[in-house]
Structure 1
Amino acid sequence: MVEWYLFLPQVRLSAADITARARVAEASGFDGIAFIDHLEAPGLPGESIWEAMTVASWVAAKTERLRIGHLVLCDAFRHPAVLAKQAVTLSDASEGRFDLGLGSGSWPAEFTRFDVGQLDPVARVTQLGRHLSLIKQYWGDGGDGDGAVQLPKRAHPIPLVLGGSGPRMMELVRNHADWWNLQANHIDRLPKLAPNAGDARVSVQQMIGFVRSGSDPQTVREVSTRRFGNLGAGLICGDADELIGYFAGLAAQRVERFYVWFADFAAPESLHEFGESVIKPFSGAVAGLR
């Protein structure tokens, strides 16, 4: 059984817009929602973007069933002791609905602009490895019992999602992750990279140009490609049947979670129709292909 998450960058949207989309996603059969983590909108420094943990907490309070997470939090932005405490707090407040997505940082320009983090990508991944061990220690999962443990301890599992594709990151995935996520602009590398994820479950981030009932397929493809054609294979356009076939192909490659990124910025009508025409019939359609 695959899981469906709405990937919703909190850029150009009000808090009310984000809440509304989260509630529609929940009502439409999505299992979770994931946000981004940046100090400025990547490539759009003049646009508004909300802080990642705060918006996740707000959406958790406004929903009942959706799991909440990120693709992914930037390790450099928070001390591991603070992040460990935030994760436990949000997990408990949401009754176990929080996933901790974490990465080493993907937008070095903001490191320079805001004087945070390290520019050397190797150093960032090395630091992430140390911080992952510390977070587990703070949760009481360190094993040797010699380090500081925070109270209260977590009452629910907090799945760890790691994003990235380099060899050093994949080693961290094998050693620490419950889930490994492949970002949209590397989706064509899935067959090569997935075997390196070890026991971690596989998820992918996928941009879609969803051709809704009554819409013009050519227009949807043109607009989606103009906006997000730079993602290459990370953008797929099609109607419900075409998307079911596409996602079934990914599921056959041991992908168990889809972070769906809508080229129309997750219009509520798209979320509702996607739930009815793709999510609900997907399991039956896949079973019929076997």
Structure 2
Amino acid sequence: MTAQTHRSGSVVRFGVFIPQLKTDVPTMLEQARTAEAAGFHSFWVMDHLLAPGAPPSDTLESWTLLTALAGATTTLRFGHLVGCAPFRHPSLLAKMAATFDQISGGRLELGLGWGSVESELTAFGFEPGSRRQRSESLGETLQILNLMFTGDTFDFDGRYFQLQGAYGLPRPVQPRIPVHIGGGGRQLTMPLVAAHADWWNCIGSARDRLEELAPMRGSARISAQYAVGLVHREEDRDAVADRVARRMPESAWGRPLVGTPDELVELFRAERSRGVALCVVRFDDFGTPETLRRFGAEVIPALD
């Protein structure tokens, strides 16, 4: 298995975000295989120990799940939207990332954030600290990941982490695992993006500020999150729009993109003109095979 080549310029890539909530492994395997066949660049899951804001329900562990999905595919890239850094010591995270990159043949996209759901951290025994402390801790995590990925022995003496004689072997397959930092905060997130990220993942609720925030991203490329309702039949348009609004509120996901394949092409062309190079979509129907295939046949090629 080999890594898929990233292309630049005016090409827009598409990822699909399918949270592993109230689902099972066979269903996720089918969705990953279908997404790959449909031409999606990447497949993204959530990194939570529970479903924020929802009653107790099945929530599959993310890294274990992604490993199974990688073994069932050959070109699709995988990541978290985004990984919760406080859940794992950076040395363990680096070992997990390098191992996954080996297993997948170089198909990891490393999404990271500093943990926005304080109630989840508290519920499972992680000391949340302040938002600034979590942001600073993520900064040290990103430094340690870079050191671990070299394979060389190193020491690290930070405020949050101290390592002595540490090293990371085996190294990842990719010369550099792409780092995606998600968020839209001017003070705590965007400085981390500029210092460490290959990609800035603009959360849906910050898309209306994309032009304001983009100059703060440094050299990172722009990806963004979208709530999408694909209208298969005109008579279903209102039902699709209602489902998008109910399942992905605008307060969290920003303005939804709802329409036929042709209409969605025009909407995503507008996003491309804003500088977005990777559009990560979450569908109103949770990504059924019919929707994944039609989006792949009629939307993705029009923006390639």
Q: Deviations over 1:57-76 (max 9, x none)?
A: 11011111100111111000
Give the residue type in structure 2 aligned to 1:182.
Answer: C
Equivalent residues of 2:203, 2:224 under 8 A apart: yes
- Which residue number corresponds to residue 99 of structure 1? 109
Find the partner of 2:227 among 191, 203, 207.
Answer: 207
Task: State the distance in 2 between where 1:170 and 1:5 align.
Answer: 22
Structural mapping, 1:168-187, within 5 Å? 168-187=188-207
CA contact (8 A) 1:5 1:33 kept: yes
Name which of 243, 249, 255 aligns with 2:276.
Answer: 255
* Distance in 1 of aligned mates of 2:253 and 2:203: 12
Contact 1:111 1:119 in 2 (8 A): no
1:14 is matched with which residue: 16, 20, 24?
24
Aligned length: 282
Q: What does 1:189-208 correspond to in 2, within 5 Å? A: 189-208=209-228
Pair 248,141 (structure 1): closer, same or farther in 2 beyond 3 Å: farther
> The residue matched to 1:42 in structure 2 has which SS?
coil
Q: RMSD of aligned C-alpha atoms?
A: 1.7
Q: Indicate the residue corresponding to 2:243 in structure 1.
A: 223
Taking structure 1 as reference, are residues 200 and 62 closer, same or farther at Cα in structure 2, changes over 3 Å only?
A: same
Q: Secondary structure at the match of 2:14?
A: strand
Match of 2:259 in 1: 238
The one-character-per-residue Cα deviations of 1:186-214 (angstroms, maximum 9, x if unpaired) are 22111111111110010001111111146
The equivalent of 1:83 in structure 2 is 93
Q: Tell me, in whole angstroms, the C-alpha distance in 1 between the residues paired with 2:302 and 2:78.
A: 24
Please say if 1:154 is aligned against 2:164: no
Change (3 A) 1:36 1:232: closer
Select between 66-75 and 145-154 the one with higher mean Cα deviation.
145-154
Runs of 4+ with deviation above 6 angstroms: none
Question: Are the counterparts in 2 of residues 206 and 235 from structure 1 also a CA contact under 8 Å?
Answer: yes
Please say if residues 77 and 117 of structure 1, whose CA atoms lie closer than 8 Å, have aligned partners that are also in contact: no
Q: Separation in 1 of the partners of 2:127 and 2:17?
A: 25
Going from structure 1 to structure 2, the CA distance change for 1:232 and 1:42 (only over 3 Å counts) comes to closer
Q: Is the 8 A contact 1:75 1:105 kept in 2?
A: yes
Work out the CA distance in 1 between the residues paired with 2:148 and 2:256. Answer: 39
For normalisation by structure 2, the TM-score amounts to: 0.88
Q: Measure how far apart 1:109 and its partner are.
A: 1.0
- The reply to whether residue 74 of structure 1 matches residue 84 of structure 2 is yes
> Structure 1: which 5+ residue stretches go unaligned?
284-290
Give the whole-Å Cα distance in 2 for the aligned partners of 1:139 and 1:7.
27
Q: Is 1:25 aligned to residue 28 of structure 2?
A: no
Equivalence for 2:5:
none
Matched-pair contact (CA < 8 Å) for 1:163–1:183: yes
User: For residues 183-242 of structure 1, what are the alpha-carbon distances to aligned partners after superposition, in whole Å with 9 as ceiling and x for unaligned?
Assistant: 112221111111111100100011111111465212211222232234463422111121
- For 2:234 and 2:72, the matched residues in 1 are separated by 32
Q: Which amino acid aligns with 1:7?
A: F
Does structure 1 residue 130 correspond to structure 2 residue 140? yes
Residue type of the alignment partner of 1:195 = P
Provide Cα deviations, 1:51-105, integer angstroms capped at 9, x if missing partner.
1111111101111110011111100001100000010000011110011111001
How many Å apart are 1:155 and its aligned residue?
A: 2.7
Q: Which has the higher helix share?
A: 1
Aligned-partner residue type, residue 192 of structure 1 = E
Residue aligned with 2:278, SS: strand
How far apart are the structure 1 equivalents of 2:63 and 2:110? 10
> Is the CA contact (8 Å cut-off) linking 1:84 and 1:138 kept in structure 2?
yes
Q: Percent identity?
A: 38
152-161 or 52-61, which deviates more: 152-161
What is the identity, as a one-letter code, of the residue corresponding to 1:277? E
In structure 2, how many angstroms separate the alpha carbons of the residues matched to 1:256 and 1:136? 24
**Residues 1:268 and 2:285 aligned together:** no
TM-score (norm 1): 0.92
